[in-house]
Structure formats: C-alpha cells, structure tokens
Structure 1
Amino acid sequence: MLDPVTLDLWFYPALTCVAVVSGFVDAVAGGGGLVMMPVLLSTPLPPHVVLGTNKVQSMCGTSMATWRYHRAGLFSFRKSAPTAAIVFAGALCGSLAIQHLSADILKIVVPVLLIAVALYTVLSPTMTDDDKKGHLTEKGYMPVGAGVAFYDGFFGPGAGQFFATTLVGLRGLGLTRATGLTKYLNVTSNIASVIVFTTGGQAMWALGLCMGAGAMTGAWIGSHYATKFGARVIRPLLVVVSIGLTVRLIWGWFA
C-alpha cells in the first residue's frame, strides 16, 4: 500500500479553478491535460498519484460533456456501446501495461502524430459539421478505437484529438458529432484507467473529486459552446491544442 499523501488546503480550491479551464478545453477539443498536468506536476504529489488523480477529475469532466452531447442528440449510447466496450478493454490493457513498461518511445512518436492532426484539421475539407461517406463501418472502426484507447491508458496526451480526427476521417462523421462521440469513448477509457490506478492506491479521491467538480463545470460550458457554434469553435481550438501538446511534449525532451 502506498504511503498517504497530504496537501495544504489551499491546493484544493486552486486546482479546482484550474480544472474548470481544463474541463472547458477538453469538452471542446480534447487535450485538457495540457492545462491540468503541468499544474498538478508542480505540486508535492508523486508522479504516479498525479496520473491517477488527473484521471479521476478527467472522468468527471468527460462524464458531464458526454451527457451534454448525448442530450444534444449527437450520438446514441446504445448504438455506440459495442465500440465503447472495445475502448474500455483497450484502455484497461494500456493502463496495466504502463505499470510495467516505459512510455519513452511515445514521447518521440506522439508529437509527430499531433502535428499531423493539426495539419489535417487545417487542410482537410472534411473537418466540417457535414457528415461524409465513411471509409469504415462502426465495426471496422473498433480496432482503431481500441488502439487509441490503449494509447490513452498507456500514455494519454492527444487521445481526444486522435479519436476526433479518426472519427471524421475514417467514419465520415461531422466534426461536432465526432466530438460528441469522442467524449463518450473518452469517458469509457477514463473509467478503465481510474479502476487500474485506484486499485493500486495511486489517486487522491478527495482532491480528484474536488477537481472533478471544476472539470464538470468547465465541461458543461464547453459542450454548450461546441453544440451551439459547432466546427467554428471546435476546429481552431483543435489546432491550438494539438500544437500546444506538441510543444509541451517536445519541451519535455529537454526539461
């Protein structure tokens, strides 16, 4: 069992406020960890507790965004349940694997993929709210979803962007619909990761739930704006977050 970790009380409201911003960004374009993780890593918490606690708050925020997008009619829980089940299994495997393997190789590969996401978002004519003819059926997309989910459980940064762009590029969904379904797959992935991390005692539930309340507030606002303004809001923020994550990861090589 891990030794208990304590924080000064002022950290709780401060990190909850940061989680509001993180929840907003994550609900619209994914990548809320770009906001949350550097702040969490600056606290006295050990890195493994940071990862687990961040997953708890992320699970709360993505739950709110998922509910809001579902209420807006952007996806069906029942129709997407088989893909969500595959995503859950993939994230579970990834979260278990990171306990024993190094993620160093991903620090090199992921920035390249994120730059590709940003370029695709800017240049592709398919990144609109119009549905297109997909290259893959839902069943055909399952291995792709499982791969992104494994990555999310194993490493994480950019998973939301990878879900969204593959749903647009491979499934043919409009960008707002893809963002809504992304949140459903994200929350499924987060739940799997939270199970693994908390089983090992690698999360502060009190802090995670406080931050989760902030993330839910931000996610409510973000999903409202995304459903109201669609690709006009999502597309530029997706580019900004992808580039920001790339810079953050490259900076980590030298830090």
Structure 2
Amino acid sequence: MIELFTAAVASLLAGFVDAVVGGGGLILVPALFSVYPNAAPATLFGTNKGAAIWGTAWATHQYAKRVSLPWLALMPAAGAALIGSFAGAWAVTQVDPSGLRKALPAILLGVLLYTLAKKDLGRHHAPRHEATTQTLIASAIGLTIGFYDGFFGPGTGSFFVFLFVRLLGFDFLHASATAKLLNTATNFAALVLFAAKGHVWWHVAAVMAVANVVGSLVGTRMALAKGAGFVRGMFVVVVSLLILKTGHDAFLR
C-alpha cells in the first residue's frame, strides 16, 4: 500500500506538470523505478502510459472547452502522431538509441537557449499559416515527434510545445493545449503495444490514473487562469530539468 500511495502521489504531480507544459514522465518514470526496483523496465513504462493517457486526455478535454483550437489541422496531426509512435516503437527494436541518448541534452539545451533568447516567443497567439499549410506542418510535427516518442521518449510534450510555438506561431497556452491531443495519441499507441506484450500492471495503473487526472485538472485550470506567460515559465523549468536528467542518464549513469 505504501508503494501504491507513493506512485499515486508521483502520478498526481506528473499529471499537473503534464497538463501545463508536458514532461510529467520526468517525475513519474523515475518514481516508478524507485518504488518498484525489481520490476521489468517495460512493465514500468507500460504502467506509466496506462496512467498518463488519462491525464493527457482529460487535459485535452478541459483545454478544448476554453481554448479555440484548429481541429481540422489537429486531427490529421494526431493521426500522424499515432502512426509515428508505432513506427518509432518498431524502430527501437531494430536500432540502438544510445546515440540519440547522448545527443538529447544538447538538443534540449538548444531549445532552452532559443526560448530564453527570444523574449517574446510564445507570448502572443498569432498563427502564421493558412489552413492547408497549417495542417501539413502540424502533421509533420505529429509524425516526427510521434516517432521520437515511440523510439525514445523523454521530453516529447516539450518538443510538441516548442515546435507549435516556433513553426506555427501559437502562444504557449495554445501550444500546450495542442500538445495534449497529440501526446494522447502517442500514449495510446505505446499503451497498445505494451498491453499486447503484457507489460501493464492494470491495478497500479488504475490508481495512478485517478491521481493523474486530478493533477491534470489542477494544472489545466492554473494554466488557463494564468495564461501563456505562466506556461512559458513552466516550459523553461521543465526543459532545464530534462537537460539535467537526460545529461545524467547519458554521461554519468
């Protein structure tokens, strides 16, 4: 019961962070490895997805009621993210991702420095493309980051947010709302694959899912209340922590 309670608390915090800007896995995955040190890694990853998908889906629903989203562009993008995630999961069985593991901290550092250098980046919502171009770019983002999520994973939500801000002109609030939809699609693809292999502890995932949704509800309401500036600040914090975590995993572990 103590282990389950600890996992639920971690899931609640992860749901909060995920709802605001993505990166909840930074909290929940290490917590699961700490609480269940003897479990197979695939089972912990699968159980994480079994909880996280409910938080991202709930956040998508909450954002959709308050934020105007370009659904005609986003639905194809979500489909592309789903396909990309399946492809990435297959690719990781064929190719060693260790090279990407070492490159990731540098990529994230570039994202962080660019965001800090562009003081107005993502503060104002000003989509810069007409509908067809927006759909194509959004689908390309979904396919690419979906593949990355299936292949490796850390920072998926943050990459979605950054690219929607940088390439489509969204503010951080709209980008975060958009990222939730695409992240739900990639989580679904991963969950299907893990479940098919029997790598989900459903009883643990169910408890964590409830906590994740509660955290998601609080995070979504706070992001909506405080706006793009708050989400941008959270983005900087989460990406900074991701740099430290991925750098440690790549070079010090």
Q: TM-score range by the shorter chain?
A: over 0.9
Cα offsets for 1:33-88 (capped at 9, x unmatched)? 11111111112321111111111111111111111111113325454211111111
Identify which of 86, 103, 109 aligns with 1:115. Answer: 109
1:5 is matched with none
2:87 is matched with 93
Distance in 2 (alpha carbons) for counterparts of 1:161 and 1:34: 11
Unaligned ranges ≥5, structure 2: none
CA shift, 1:13, in A, is 1.8
Cα offsets for 1:176-207 (capped at 9, x unmatched)? 11110110000011001101111011111111
The answer to whether the 8 Å contact 2:23/2:238 transfers is yes
With normalisation by structure 2, the TM-score equals 0.92
The answer to whether the 8 Å contact 1:96/1:196 transfers is no
Distance in 2 (alpha carbons) for counterparts of 1:194 and 1:235: 29
More helix by share: 2
Identify which of 137, 140, 143 aligns with 1:140. Answer: 137
Identify which of 41, 49, 53 aligns with 1:47. Answer: 41
Distance in 2 (alpha carbons) for counterparts of 1:50 and 1:141: 30
Identity %: 29
Distance in 2 (alpha carbons) for counterparts of 1:11 and 1:77: 40
Distance in 2 (alpha carbons) for counterparts of 1:227 and 1:129: 14
The DSSP-based 3-state class of the residue aligned with 1:75 is: coil
The answer to whether the 8 Å contact 2:73/2:138 transfers is no
Runs of 4+ in structure 1 off by over 4 angstroms are 76-79
CA shift, 1:101, in A, is 3.1
With normalisation by structure 1, the TM-score equals 0.91
1:233 is matched with 230
Cα offsets for 1:10-52 (capped at 9, x unmatched)? 2112211111111101111111111111111112321111111
Identify which of 5, 12, 15 aligns with 1:23. Answer: 15
Equivalent pairs counted in the alignment come to 247
The answer to whether the 8 Å contact 1:128/1:174 transfers is yes
2:125 is matched with 130
The answer to whether the 8 Å contact 2:172/2:229 transfers is no
The DSSP-based 3-state class of the residue aligned with 1:31 is: coil
Unaligned ranges ≥5, structure 1: 1-8
